[in-house]
Amino acid sequence: MLLKRVRLDILRDYGTSIAFIVLFALLSITTPAFFSARNLHNIVDQSAHVGIVACAMTMVIIGGCFDLSVGAIFAFAGSLAAIIARAGYTELGIITGILVGLILGFTNGIIITKLKINSFIATLATSLMIRALALVMTGGLLIVVTDKNFATLGQGRFLEIKYPVYILAAFIIFSWFVLSRTTFGRYVYAIGGNQDAARLSGVRVELIRVLTFCLTGLAAGLAGVITVSRIAQGVADIGTGVELDAIAATVIGGTSILGGEGAIWRTVIGVLLLRLIVNGFNLLNVPPFYQGIFQGAIIIFAVALDTLSKRSR
């Protein structure tokens, strides 16, 4: 029984890494174009927006909650940045978009903690509201930004590597440090593991929860601004499905949906694995719907593995 539990824990913790290595090796052998520096750079670059959101989502899920509003915040922040930039205030637009994401995340946290509403329901409701506000703000139209400086954040390069790759790396390091090396991170784990015990131990549960939602809002705002900068236009329906991709990557990476367990590095592997599937299948000319089937199967396997691991303890 003990041996079985150990095997399940190892598979849950490192199964994604093993799958990533195996898939990477197979694609390298079967598709010569896959292992090119350009393609590998594109994989990381195209993972940036989901990776940023997923790192913050990891903290929320470890803390025992979900945030389904990040896709809507992504669109609202990006569209607002584009509107302000088109008016001639490029830097202000970028900063405002990121800060608005933080404010919307804070609002989510307040609604959940003060009104005692389940995070799944609360953020589902706020996502509908925020997405509708984005539609009202843009009038349902494309907000095209002609200022080349606005595109620098999403398209600029340093040493032939795009800026979003650097931003992703910086956010990964920041998230890892906050979760693994600070008191705040230990409190997040404690709350996800046993909320009542954490409260009795003196942890300010509501404050920590609000701060985790501030982080997801900030991440969604940053990712939205980067994406809008990449395409030099804002639109209200951009970012649709980002929340599902972020949650999928987090769960595939081994973060428990029941809270209390998880790690940033495993989420990063989950993000890259999902992008690897899309990239590899495209290179192999596999129809898109097969990608969805494969990704869905991986998610089911990851959740089932987590459940089995919990039951064996």
Tokens 């390091």 label which residue?
173
User: Is pLDDT above 70 for 159?
Assistant: yes
Residue with tokens 């790759």: 165
Q: Which amino acid is at 223?
A: A
Q: Contact 168/52 with Cβ under 8 angstroms? A: yes
Residues 153 and 167: their CA atoms lie apart, in Å, by 9
- What is the pLDDT averaged over residues 9-15? 64
Cβ-contact 191, 113 below 8 angstroms: no
Report yes or no: 271 and 279 within 8 Å, Cβ to Cβ.
no
Query: 103-158: per-residue pLDDT in tens?
Result: 999 999 999 999 999 999 999 999 999 999 999 999 888 899 988 889 999 999 99
As given in the structure block, the two tokens for residue 296 are 């869905």
Residue 90 CB partners (closer than 8 Å, separation 6+): 145, 147, 149, 150
pLDDT tens-digit readout, 38-90: 989 999 999 999 999 999 999 999 999 999 999 999 999 999 999 999 998 99
When pLDDT is averaged across residues 86-108 and rounded to a whole number, the result is 95
Q: How confident is the model at residue 12 (pLDDT cuts 50, 70, 90)?
A: low
Q: Rounded to whole angstroms, how far apart are CA atoms 274 and 269?
A: 9
Q: Give the Cα separation of 95 and 32 in Å (integer).
A: 41
So what's the pLDDT on residue 177? 96
Find the helix or strand (DSSP H, E) in which 166 lies.
Answer: helix 163-181
Q: Count Cβ atoms below 10 Å from residue 39 Cβ, excluding itself.
A: 15
| CATH class entry, domain 2-28+45-311 | mainly alpha
Q: Which helix (H) or strand (E) holds 162?
A: strand 161-162
> From CA 101, how far away is CA 84, in angstroms rounded?
15
Domain boundaries, the chain: 2-28+45-311
- Rounded CA gap, 277 and 248, in Å? 13
CA atoms within 13 A on the CB side of 138: 26
Q: Write out pLDDT tens, residues 205-260.
A: 999 999 999 999 999 999 999 999 999 898 888 888 899 899 989 988 888 888 88
CB of 112 within 8 A of CB of 122? yes
Task: Please give the residue that has the higher pLDDT: either 82 or 6.
Answer: 82
Q: Would the CA dihedral through 262, 268, 271, 273 be positive or negative? A: negative
pLDDT value at position 10? 62
Distances in Å between the alpha carbon of 268 and those of 61, 194, 271, 312?
15, 26, 5, 27
pLDDT given for residue 33 in this prediction: 83
Helix (H) or strand (E) segment spanning residue 246: helix 242-252
